[in-house]
């Protein structure tokens, strides 16, 4: 019988629509799920949304709507995005669902029945972080901020507590006996040293928050959002439903995949709750790294959110999936920019797969009438190359080293390229015609490519399907057995088509998008025209200033972009503007311009721009707004 494999992502807060961090997490979980499916495992892949708590309550209040209305709207965005990104989750849990509440109550009931004093009513004073919705130990508070820089305040509350202190030793023992419980090792070390300091009891109810699950037997309290949220992993399996075959089958989870910031909740609180309730612990908590922007974590609270919808809409889900899996070394942090995406996409051997495919298809068309050649071959350098890379690749997938798995795949693609160069099928055809040697040669190329497509299928499922069907293979044949040499049929019909990885014109794309490299996604419905006007307060948020261009030069390899140092009264800053088709750098120096001074920095063709120069656009051609030369640099414009 197939082995059950249960993988979950964190459930994402619905106070905002998903950003690249959430996308990455779901893509990584999807790659793992697809890999295990093709290994023959019985996979259950869960994702969902965390809908209770103060953050959601406040975001909804700000908009003047009910929390559930906000949640419904954001959840719709989740569903749309996961579909676009081809996320193959088997279920989607919302913490506002009845089945979830049943699971939470069952967990609390089991704790209360098994170890009655594990939950008690008590009062507690300490540093409370509203952003994280948790009390922060004194030694982690500096200048009224927690370790992540969120503000904390002294708070006293009478709450239900969970006797977490009782689990210090059992948890340490569990980490010792199961060193793979937290992955990677650095995250385990952090968890162990946190627990070694001794655990304090955890407040598990709130009275200040109304938007939550009422505490059983005391509806003045709602259940602490983390206790509520963590239980999703079992409530989605029907835990608490009396008869729960799914829970019996899939629990304990094989992997909880979460960002490194919330490993502690999953590796300390969650196993302690489960121990107390007498339930098995998950097998592994895996912490991935953060997507950063200018070396800072991307997050709503920092206001530097990246949602690369442009990239996905324009180039498709698979290239984006490929990029995030290839660019980030699993477990480590990585900076995001649209430019990094394009550079990697254009420069990467991924495109080599497309090129090798079109060359091999062309040869099959020219020499073998658009069919796979008639003679297979069981002894050749490509077979040897495939047999070398496949075990390394499988190991890398098991190690969650996706970037290495992809690199390994490109070694096989490079081998195809070298093979064509050294065997010269073109001259062979000229000299000998479509003989058996040529048949073997081309078949070998197609067979190696078939294996390469199977290898990339968890990361680029649509491109893999397309590639396989073009070479006459079954698009669904992506099981692990398909990584063996010799499966491609002879005389199967081939199919041509557009390039699998069309080259991106980086300059054109980045310049077109220069003002909106990562635009936010609006989930609110478009306002009717008469209320689409902005208030004077909104306008005043834009800081317009007069600036003087002190120096200017063209950005290398760009026709449009000019890099300028402009003086703003109290200092100089660098601005990049797409005005190079109209102005020369020389005529800009000394000129006064109007700039938007409080824009977040953006990187254009590798050069940072700190602001934007105002220009009128006539059929896309920019004309700078002129300023009376007597107005000093730095003067505010309104
Ligand atoms: O933490 N890079 O929800 P969330 C990579 N509801 N991953 C990131 C990231 C970034 N810049 N920002 C966030 C919560 N994430 C809770 C989880 S689970 C029982 C409850 C990751 O919406 C983050 O680490 O803030 C987490 O794993 C996930 O996105 C959801 O974050």
How many angstroms is it from 259 CA to the middle of ligand 1? 6
How many angstroms is it from 389 CA to the middle of ligand 1? 34
Nearest residue to 599 (alpha-carbon basis) of 590, 608, 591, 607: 608
Tokens 């071959």 locate to 377
* pLDDT score, position 311: 87
Given a cut of 90, whether residue 521 has pLDDT beyond it is no
Confidence of residue 537 (pLDDT cuts 50, 70, 90): low
Q: How far apart are CA 181 and CA 172, in angstroms?
A: 11
Given a cut of 80, whether residue 535 has pLDDT beyond it is no
Confidence of residue 513 (pLDDT cuts 50, 70, 90): low
Lowest mean pLDDT among 142-146, 517-521, 562-566, 599-603: 517-521
β-pair type (255-259, 4-13): parallel
Instruction: Judge whether 545 and 635 are in contact, CB under 8 Å.
Output: yes
Does 269 sit in the ligand 1 pocket, CB within 6 Å? no
β-pair type (4-13, 285-288): unpaired
**Residue 508 exposure: Cα atoms within 13 Å on the Cβ side:** 4
Q: How far apart are CA 442 and CA 359, in angstroms?
A: 10
On the question of a cis peptide bond just before residue 252, with omega within 30 degrees of 0, the verdict is yes
* pLDDT score, position 619: 61
How many angstroms is it from 19 CA to the middle of ligand 1? 10
Once rounded to an integer, what is the mean pLDDT over residues 591-607?
A: 84
Atom of ligand 1 nearest to the CA of 260: 24
User: In sequence order, what are the beta bridge partners of 127?
Assistant: 136, 154
Given a cut of 90, whether residue 360 has pLDDT beyond it is yes
- 135-179 pLDDT per residue, tens: 888 888 999 998 888 899 998 889 999 999 999 999 999 999 999
Instruction: Tell me which DSSP letter residue 526 carries.
Output: P
- 254-298 pLDDT per residue, tens: 999 999 999 999 999 999 999 999 999 999 999 999 999 888 888
Does 298 sit in the ligand 1 pocket, CB within 6 Å? yes
Once rounded to an integer, what is the mean pLDDT over residues 32-41?
A: 98
- 58-89 pLDDT per residue, tens: 999 999 999 999 999 999 999 999 999 999 99
Sign of the Cα pseudo-torsion (391, 393, 394, 396, in order): positive
Mutate to test the pocket of ligand 1, among 261, 303, 518 (most ligand atoms within 8 A of CB): 261
Average per-residue pLDDT for the chain: 91
C-alpha dist (Å) from residue 234 to 95, 167, 250, 279: 12, 21, 9, 10
Q: How far apart are CA 626 and CA 615, in angstroms?
A: 9
Does 259 sit in the ligand 1 pocket, CB within 6 Å? yes
List, as own/partner pairs, every contact residues 244-251 make where C-beta atoms lie below 8 angstroms and the sequence separation is at least 24, other chains included.
246/44, 249/4, 250/4, 250/6, 250/44, 251/6, 251/279, 251/280
Does 336 sit in the ligand 1 pocket, CB within 6 Å? no
Lowest mean pLDDT among 356-370, 434-448, 521-535: 521-535
Q: How far apart are CA 442 and CA 424, in angstroms?
A: 11
Q: How far apart are CA 178 and CA 160, in angstroms?
A: 31
Given a cut of 50, whether residue 7 has pLDDT beyond it is yes
C-alpha dist (Å) from residue 493 to 178, 322, 438, 469, 570: 52, 28, 18, 9, 70
> Can you read off the two tokens belonging to residue 426?
């073109």
Other Cβ atoms closer than 10 A to 97: 17
The vertex-631 CA angle with 628 and 632, nearest 5°, equals 145
The vertex-554 CA angle with 550 and 556, nearest 5°, equals 140
Other Cβ atoms closer than 10 A to 6: 27
Q: Which helix (H) or strand (E) holds 437?
A: helix 436-456
C-alpha dist (Å) from residue 429 to 309, 368, 448: 47, 11, 21
* pLDDT score, position 620: 64
Lowest mean pLDDT among 45-54, 225-234, 432-441, 532-541: 532-541
Tokens 């990585």 locate to 334
Does 10 sit in the ligand 1 pocket, CB within 6 Å? yes
Residue 364 CB contacts under 8 Å (≥ 6 apart), including other chains? 370, 371, 372, 373, 442, 446, 494
Confidence of residue 561 (pLDDT cuts 50, 70, 90): confident
Q: How far apart are CA 173 and CA 96, in angstroms?
A: 35
Atom of ligand 1 nearest to the CA of 258: 27
Task: Specify the 3-state DSSP secondary structure of 615.
Answer: strand
Sign of the Cα pseudo-torsion (265, 266, 267, 269, in order): positive
Q: For the stretch 163-201, what's the b/e string if a residue is b when 16 or more beta carbons lie within 10 angstroms of its beta carbon? A: bbebbbeebeebbeeeeebbbbeebbebbbebbeeebeb
> Can you read off the two tokens belonging to residue 278?
């007498």
Mutate to test the pocket of ligand 1, among 21, 93, 94 (most ligand atoms within 8 A of CB): 21
Once rounded to an integer, what is the mean pLDDT over residues 492-502?
A: 89
Phi and psi for 142 in degrees, rounded to 5? -135, 130
How many angstroms is it from 284 CA to the middle of ligand 1? 17
How many angstroms is it from 243 CA to the middle of ligand 1? 32
**Residue 315 exposure: Cα atoms within 13 Å on the Cβ side:** 23
Atom of ligand 1 nearest to the CA of 290: 2
Mutate to test the pocket of ligand 1, among 10, 81, 269 (most ligand atoms within 8 A of CB): 10
Mutate to test the pocket of ligand 1, among 14, 19, 22, 70 (most ligand atoms within 8 A of CB): 22
Max avg pLDDT among 8-22, 106-120, 299-313, 609-623: 106-120
Instruction: Judge whether 372 and 446 are in contact, CB under 8 Å.
Output: yes
């Amino acid at each position: 019988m197939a082995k059950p494999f249960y993988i979950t992502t964190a459930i994402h807060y619905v106070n905002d629509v998903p950003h690249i961090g959430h996308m990455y997490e779901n893509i990584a979980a999807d790659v793992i799920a697809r890999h295990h499916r093709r290994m023959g495992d019985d996979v259950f892949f869960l994702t969902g949304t965390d809908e209770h708590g103060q953050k959601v309550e406040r975001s909804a209040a700000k908009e003047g709507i009910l929390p559930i209305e906000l949640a419904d709207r954001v959840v719709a965005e989740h569903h749309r995005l996961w579909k676009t990104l081809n996320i193959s989750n088997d279920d989607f849990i919302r913490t506002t669902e009845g089945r979830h509440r049943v699971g939470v109550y069952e967990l609390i009931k089991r704790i209360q029945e098994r170890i009655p004093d594990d939950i008690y009513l008590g009062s507690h004073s300490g540093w409370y972080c509203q952003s994280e919705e948790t009390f922060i130990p004194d030694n982690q508070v500096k200048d009224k901020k927690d370790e992540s820089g969120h503000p904390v305040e002294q708070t006293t509350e009478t709450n239900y507590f969970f006797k977490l202190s009782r689990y210090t030793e059992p948890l340490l023992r569990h980490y010792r006996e199961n060193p793979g419980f937290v992955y990677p090792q650095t995250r385990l070390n952090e968890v162990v040293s946190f627990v070694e300091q001794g655990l304090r009891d955890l407040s598990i109810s709130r009275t200040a928050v109304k938007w939550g699950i009422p505490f059983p037997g005391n509806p003045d309290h709602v259940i602490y959002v983390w206790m509520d949220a963590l239980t999703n992993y079992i409530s989605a399996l029907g835990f608490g439903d009396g008869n729960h075959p799914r829970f019996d089958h899939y629990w304990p989870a094989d992997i909880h995949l979460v960002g490194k910031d919330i490993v502690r909740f999953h590796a300390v609180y969650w196993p302690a709750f489960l121990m107390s309730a007498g339930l098995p612990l998950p097998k592994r908590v895996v912490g991935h790294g953060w997507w950063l922007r200018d070396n800072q974590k991307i997050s709503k609270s920092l206001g530097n959110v990246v949602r690369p919808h442009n990239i996905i809409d324009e180039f498709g889900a698979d290239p984006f999936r490929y990029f995030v899996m290839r660019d980030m070394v699993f477990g480590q942090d990585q900076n995001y920019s649209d430019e990094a995406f394009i550079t990697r996409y254009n420069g990467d051997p991924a495109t080599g797969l497309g090129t090798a495919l079109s060359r091999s298809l062309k040869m099959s068309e020219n020499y073998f009438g658009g069919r796979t050649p008639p003679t297979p071959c069981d002894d050749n350098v490509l077979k040897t190359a495939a047999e070398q890379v496949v075990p390394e690749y499988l190991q890398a997938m098991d190690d969650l080293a996706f970037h290495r798995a992809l690199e390994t795949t490109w070694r096989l693609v490079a081998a195809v390229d070298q093979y064509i160069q050294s065997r010269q099928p073109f001259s062979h055809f000229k000299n000998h015609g479509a003989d058996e040697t040529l048949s073997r040669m081309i078949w070998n190329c197609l067979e190696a490519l078939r294996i390469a497509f199977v290898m990339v299928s968890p990361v680029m499922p649509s491109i893999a399907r397309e590639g396989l069907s073009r070479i006459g293979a079954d698009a669904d044949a992506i099981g692990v057995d398909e990584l063996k040499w010799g499966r491609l049929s002879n005389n199967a019909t081939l199919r041509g088509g557009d390039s699998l990885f069309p080259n991106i014109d980086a300059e054109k794309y980045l310049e077109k998008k220069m003002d909106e490299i990562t635009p936010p996604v609006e989930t609110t419905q478009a306002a009717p025209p008469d209320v689409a006007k902005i208030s004077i307060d909104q306008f005043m948020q834009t800081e317009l200033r007069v600036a003087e261009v002190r120096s200017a030069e063209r950005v290398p390899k760009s026709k449009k972009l000019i890099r300028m140092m402009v003086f703003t009264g109290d200092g100089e800053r660098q601005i990049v503007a797409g005005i190079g088709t109209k102005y020369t750098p020389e005529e800009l120096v000394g000129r006064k311009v109007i700039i938007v001074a409080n824009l977040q920095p953006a990187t254009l063709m590798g050069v940072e721009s700190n602001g934007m120069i105002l220009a009128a656009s006539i059929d896309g051609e920019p004309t700078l707004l002129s300023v009376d030369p007597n107005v000093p640099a730095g003067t505010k414009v309104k």
